[in-house]
Amino acid sequence: MNDVAAATLVQAAARAAPRVPVLEVADLSVEFRTRSGTVRALDGVSLQVHRGECLGVVGESGSGKSVTAYAVMRLLDPAARITGGRITFGGMDMLGAGDADLADLRGRELSMIFQNPRASLNPIRPVGTQIADVLLRHGGVTRAQAPARAAALLAEVGIPDPERRARAYPFELSGGMCQRVGIALALACRPALLIADEPTTGLDVTTQAVIMDLVLGLARARGMATVLITHDLGLATEYCDSIAVMHAGHVVETAPTAALFATPRHPYTARLIGATPRPGLALGDLASIAGSLPDLRREDLPACRFLDRCERARPDCAAAPLPRRTEAARMVACRYPL
């Protein structure tokens, strides 16, 4: 009963008021308790994704992209604590939801593709069986129908000879094939939101483009909302409607893709753009991003965590609170934006 209610909720919300975001993350903060101190991994993160839209989340490794995704899925490690904020998915409060409701939602309304395709498949279960597991879990098929449905899904993600491949184990498939299986798994139940966490890292360049076209093509065709997580600004530019730039657990800038490129307002965004290869720009011209992420276990983290790497920094940048300026569809978290 509960799943049906939730499903219609999401769809109704999406149909009735297209400007209500499918996913809204507001002011989310997450900490990890570790032996060597508390890691303040996310601090005041806000994101929105609408139906049929693709949001890119871009940032260096360690900036908190995966933690954000796991928080939305409510799949954080036991060591993590959500210390503040709201996550609303299709009008449902994700932080207040019970485990059973969450499990019903995951894979059916809310899905995820992972960074390391082979490692995110069960190594000793045929891939077709793994897809069948998901289909059976979320209803809609009988045990007898499941294998054929699984093969059909494999065909849909462009795997040749799907009946035979359904019986293969992950170690028998290439990385690109494994990622296709991951996509089939995530899209098996036609979710309303797909989170793709670095879906092409570790694949070779040609496969990368094929996989990205496949994911975004399916997403568009189905009117899904998509969150594309990547450290590659170029990739995000190519596929996303808007982009959120993350740095050290902060979203430092959010803007429609074109606007972000035309007029970056956060110094970090500007540097990222400067470091992104574009046609006509030689590799030697790329400005690398100096400095490194601050240690998030530090007790005295400045309000602006980019402070130490910023050439525009002024003394009052360290003072709390971190200003977040919102105008039209844009947000920038900087006291002295460009």
Partner 1 sequence: MMLAVIARRLAAALPTLAGVVVVTFLLTRALPGDPAAYFAGPAATREAVEQIRAQLGLDRSLGMQFLGYLRELARGDLGLSITTGQPVLSDIVARLPASAELTLLALLFAALAGISLGVLAALRPNGWLDNLCRVIATLGVCLPAFFTGLLLIYVFYYLLGWAPAPLGRLNAFAAPPPHVTGFFLIDSLLAGQGETFRSALAQILLPALSLGIFAVAPIARITRGSMLAVMSSDFIRAARAHGLSGRTVVIAYALRNALLPVVTTLGMVFSFLLGANVLIEKVFAWPGIGSYAVEALIASDYAPVQGFVMTMGFLYVLLNLAIDLLYRVIDPRMEVTA
Ligand X SMILES: Nc1ncnc2c1ncn2[C@@H]1O[C@H](COP(=O)(O)OP(=O)(O)O)[C@@H](O)[C@H]1O
Binding region for ligand X (CB under 6 A): 32, 34, 39, 41, 59, 61-67, 77, 79, 296
CB of 189 to Mg ion, least distance (A): 24
* Cα separation, 70 vs 81, whole angstroms: 12
230 scored as a contact of Mg ion (CB under 5 A): no
CB of 42 to ligand X, least distance (A): 8
Question: 41 or 244, CB closer to ligand X?
Answer: 41
Number of residues assigned to the chain: 338
226 scored as a contact of Mg ion (CB under 5 A): no
* Cα separation, 163 vs 151, whole angstroms: 5
Question: 19 or 35, CB closer to ligand X?
Answer: 35
Question: 66 or 242, CB closer to ligand X?
Answer: 66
CB of 173 to ligand X, least distance (A): 25
Q: Is the bond into 321 cis (omega within 30 degrees of 0)?
A: yes
* Cα separation, 230 vs 201, whole angstroms: 8
Q: With CB cut-offs between 5 and 8 Å by kind, which of Mg ion, partner 1, ligand X, none does residue 114 bind?
A: partner 1
Cα radius of gyration (the chain): 20
Q: With CB cut-offs between 5 and 8 Å by kind, which of ligand X, Mg ion, partner 1, none does residue 173 bind?
A: none
Closest by CA to 111, choosing from 51, 190, 15, 176, is 190
* Cα separation, 183 vs 181, whole angstroms: 5
User: Shortest Cβ contact with Mg ion: which residue?
Assistant: 66
Q: Are strands 330-332 and 250-256 parallel, antiparallel or unpaired?
A: antiparallel
Give the count of beta carbons closer than 10 Å to the beta carbon of residue 155. Answer: 16
63 scored as a contact of Mg ion (CB under 5 A): no
Q: With CB cut-offs between 5 and 8 Å by kind, which of partner 1, ligand X, Mg ion, none does residue 119 bind?
A: partner 1
Question: 6 or 47, CB closer to partner 1?
Answer: 6
CB of 281 to ligand X, least distance (A): 25
CA 5 to each of CA 59, 90, 103, 300: distance values in angstroms, whole numbers, following the listed order: 36, 11, 14, 46
By the 8 A CB rule, do 57 and 230 touch?
yes
119 scored as a contact of partner 1 (CB under 8 A): yes
Question: 50 or 74, CB closer to partner 1?
Answer: 74
* Cα separation, 60 vs 198, whole angstroms: 12
Q: What is the dihedral of CA 8, 10, 16, 19, to 10 degrees?
A: 180
Among 4, 75, 319, 338, which residue interacts with partner 1 (rule: CB under 8 A)?
A: 75
CB of 110 to partner 1, least distance (A): 9
Among 169, 207, 275, 312, which residue interacts with partner 1 (rule: CB under 8 A)?
A: 169
Q: Which ranges constitute the DSSP H helices of the chain?
A: 2-16, 65-73, 99-105, 127-137, 146-156, 162-166, 175-187, 205-222, 233-239, 257-262, 267-274
73 scored as a contact of partner 1 (CB under 8 A): yes
Residue type, 74: R
125 scored as a contact of partner 1 (CB under 8 A): yes
Q: With CB cut-offs between 5 and 8 Å by kind, which of ligand X, partner 1, Mg ion, none does residue 123 bind?
A: partner 1
Q: With CB cut-offs between 5 and 8 Å by kind, which of Mg ion, ligand X, partner 1, none does residue 336 bind?
A: none
Q: Which residues bind partner 1 (CB under 8 A)?
A: 70, 73, 75, 77, 103-108, 111-112, 114, 116, 119-125, 133-134, 137-138, 169, 171-172, 182, 185-186, 188
